[in-house]
Amino acid sequence: MNNLNQLCPRGKAFWSCSGGKLCDGIPSMEKDRQQELKALIDGGLFVRAERLARELELHDQSQDLQRKALWQMAAVNRNMPGTKKLAEMYNLSKAEVITTLREILNSQKGDRENRTLEPCYDQYTGQYLPFEEWLNQLSKRWEKIGKD
- pTM for the model stands at 0.76
- Asked if 63 and 57 touch (Cβ cutoff 8 Å), the reply is no
- CA 65 to CA 82: how far, in whole Å? 16
Between 25 and 102, the more confident residue is 102
User: pLDDT band at residue 112, thresholds of 50, 70 and 90?
Assistant: confident
- Cβ-Cβ contacts under 8 Å for 133 (sequence gap 6 or more): none
Q: What digits encode the pLDDT tens for the residues 9-41?
A: 444 443 344 444 444 555 566 778 889 999 999
pLDDT range class, residue 63, cuts 50, 70, 90? very high
Type of residue found at 84: K
Domain boundaries, the chain: 26-109+117-141
pLDDT over 90 percentage in the chain? 66
Residue 1 pLDDT? 39
